[in-house]
Structure 1
Amino acid sequence: MFLRTFKQPNGQGTMIWSSPVQQSRIMHLATLPHTHLAFTVDLERTLKVWNCQDEDALATRITPRACFSLEACLTKDGPFLMVSWHSEGDIYTLTVPGLRNVSKVNVFKYNVDLLHCSPDRKWIFASTHQHHLPKVGIFHSLLTETVRRQNPSVSLPLSSCCRAYWAPRRINRITLMFRRGSSQKTGFTTYDLATERTEGRTVIQAHQITSFLLPVDMESPICMGVSDGNMFVFESGPYLFLFTISGLLLQQFEDHQRTISNLWVDSLYVLTTSMDDLFYRYMWEEEGRYPYLKSCCHLAHIGSNQIPSRFVSKAICDNSSIVCVVSRTRESSILVMYSLNM
């Protein structure tokens, strides 16, 4: 294997599992940390379920078209996987681990590029990059036949949405990243969602809380994440920034030497990876007026001289582990799991 532990005063990580080499590069990754399950889709349209313990995948399915988005959800009825692989804007809900069809719901006339469940599994966000307005619907409309026929949803008045993230600790709040104008200025806007009953029907309302544009001289970010609903993080080149949703800069980190390629955020941690072959893991702290980020550990990823150009293309963490995709450019991938000893 091509990974080693890099020890910091506050903790260390140890590789505990890796998949066989996947001859087609893994493009999408999702996990259900409490069940130790991971889901991958590769360039050849192969969808797999892994338990991050055994060599072979638990289930495999060839999707009819390229996968655009992948979201795993754990509900009171069990785990489900939502996939968009159709060019006509359909969202498929599948059983886990069997990958059998549960439902198909049409959202757009084009492919769904972004798909995110809210932390409480009440809302589902969907967006397309075809300059159509993104939508928020009721999550259970994907699971319940009666509700699905009504399919309540609301369009958010924001075109050119390129990222979205639900606030883990403010479950009705979502922050969207967008590009605007010929200069492609990057901005962020935040909405609060609510429902009401009108004439026997469920109506969703979206209230814009705040919106702002980044400075024109700042490199446009690719990834973002939200903490308590009042602040969010994003990368810009090799830097990690913490802003309030109103546009106030709180922190800037310069740990990476090269561009940050992957960012993962939840209510406890922030994880970054870049082409400098390092993971950086930060922890949310609650002291003071605003929560802030504290660096808690980093791990080194060491490539093999015989297998060049390996890099961590995707990574997801929880409070005890990191699951990541180690890829070769346009070629093979492996799935790797670390145990974090904090």
Structure 2
Amino acid sequence: MHLAFTADLEGTVKVWNCQDAEALATLTMPQACFSMEICLTKDGPFLMVGNSEGDMYTLTVPELRHVSKVNAFKYSVDLLHCSPDKKWIFASGTHQNILPVVFLTESLLTPAEGKSPLSLSIPYSSCCRACWAPRRPSRITVMYRRGSFRKTGFTTFELTAERTGDRTDIQAHQVAAFLLPPHMESPVWMGVGDGNVIVFESGPALFLFTISGHLLQRFEDHQRTIGNLWVDSVHVLSMSMDDSLHLYMWEEEGRYPYLKSCCHLEHVGRDSAPSCYVSKAICDNMSIVCVVSRLRESSILVMYSLRM
């Protein structure tokens, strides 16, 4: 739709058409906004916004007109993810006392007067990441921290919604779960493949596990800690503090998909200590765009053209 959405610490949400210097619409929220998610449905586009008080707003696009509001938790809504088929909205905070909640999207878009939106809590607290499976739109994998030693675990759920008359019953069936070995450094980033594999970083290494905890692949293409990951149904990008970026692609042979290493992009500085690092990158079938953050100067935007 050629639109961009921003939110600042004062709670001001804006819609931009990427052509004009002035915003198309502006909405001032009562609290700071911690998360945003766009949802393109058959009834039109909507923007979901989570704030510091645990409230989740549904707004029209581009007008930013109020559709619904629900209090998801007592703490901030740090994560909002719409399922690939737009049927579900996953909401969570990173606070240790928060249980993630999955909402049925249609109940947020057409709220019934006097009734709460249809939702279900997932019984895993301390959620830090979550990803929907691109090809299995009702399957979600959650990364969480558990116990005094903050062990990292992954759990995968399959969601169902069955309608009987005027009643809709939502259930979450646990498909698989596992904890990482104690010696592994806890990952910060994760992604999923076909719904049966999980990719994540640990220090300078990249790992591919099944959702049941079986190690499939390990890559050591970076010298320093991986600081960010980009994962979609075709590509995986790993960005390291050594100012390098590595591109992988999903391959479908065998029982499980695996990652094929494609190319390594690296900036060579004047001294041994890196003066900048790739802090974020995104990818499509034609290009890679990344932000190179400099330690003492402003950041720069770099684009690479893909020739696969």
* Post-superposition CA distance 1:172-211 (Å, at most 9, x none): 1111111111111111111111012356221110111111
Contact 1:162-1:177 within 8 A present in 2 as well = yes
* Post-superposition CA distance 1:33-79 (Å, at most 9, x none): xx455444456666555666x58475474655333212223222333
Give yes or no for the alignment of 1:153 onto 2:119. yes
Q: How does 1:321-332 map to 2 (within 5 A)?
A: 321-327=287-293
Supply the distance in 1 between the matched residues of 2:161 and 2:104 (Cα, whole angstroms).
Answer: 10
Supply the distance in 1 between the matched residues of 2:91 and 2:262 (Cα, whole angstroms).
Answer: 33
Aligned residue for 2:83? 118
Q: Structure 2: give runs of 5+ residues left out of the alignment.
A: none
Supply the distance in 1 between the matched residues of 2:108 and 2:238 (Cα, whole angstroms).
Answer: 32
Supply the distance in 2 between the matched residues of 1:59 and 1:148 (Cα, whole angstroms).
Answer: 33
Aligned residue for 2:74? 109
How many residues are matched?
A: 304
Aligned residue for 2:219? 253
Contact 1:285-1:294 within 8 A present in 2 as well = yes
Contact 1:282-1:297 within 8 A present in 2 as well = yes
Give yes or no for the alignment of 1:132 onto 2:92. no
Measured on the aligned residues, the alpha-carbon RMSD in Å equals 3.1
Q: How does 1:65-144 map to 2 (within 5 A)?
A: 65-85=31-51, 87-130=52-95, 131-144=97-110
Q: Structure 1: give runs of 5+ residues left out of the alignment.
A: 1-34
**AA of the residue aligned to 2:283:** C
Greater RCO, 1 or 2 (C-alpha within 8 Å, sep 6+)? 1
Supply the distance in 2 between the matched residues of 1:129 and 1:298 (Cα, whole angstroms).
Answer: 33
What's the secondary structure of 2:148's corresponding residue?
coil
Contact 1:46-1:60 within 8 A present in 2 as well = no
Aligned residue for 1:312? 278
What percent of counterpart residues are identical? 70
Q: Which moved more, 1:126-135 or 1:98-107?
A: 98-107
Contact 1:269-1:283 within 8 A present in 2 as well = yes
Contact 1:83-1:91 within 8 A present in 2 as well = yes
Give yes or no for the alignment of 1:280 onto 2:260. no
TM-score normalised according to structure 1 size: 0.77
Supply the distance in 2 between the matched residues of 1:330 and 1:120 (Cα, whole angstroms).
Answer: 43
Contact 2:244-2:277 within 8 A present in 1 as well = no
Supply the distance in 2 between the matched residues of 1:147 and 1:337 (Cα, whole angstroms).
Answer: 49
How far is the alpha carbon of 1:334 from its aligned partner?
6.2
1:36–1:302: structure 2 CA closer, same or farther, 3 Å change rule? farther
Aligned residue for 2:197? 231
* Post-superposition CA distance 1:254-303 (Å, at most 9, x none): 11221111112121111221222222221110112211011223444578
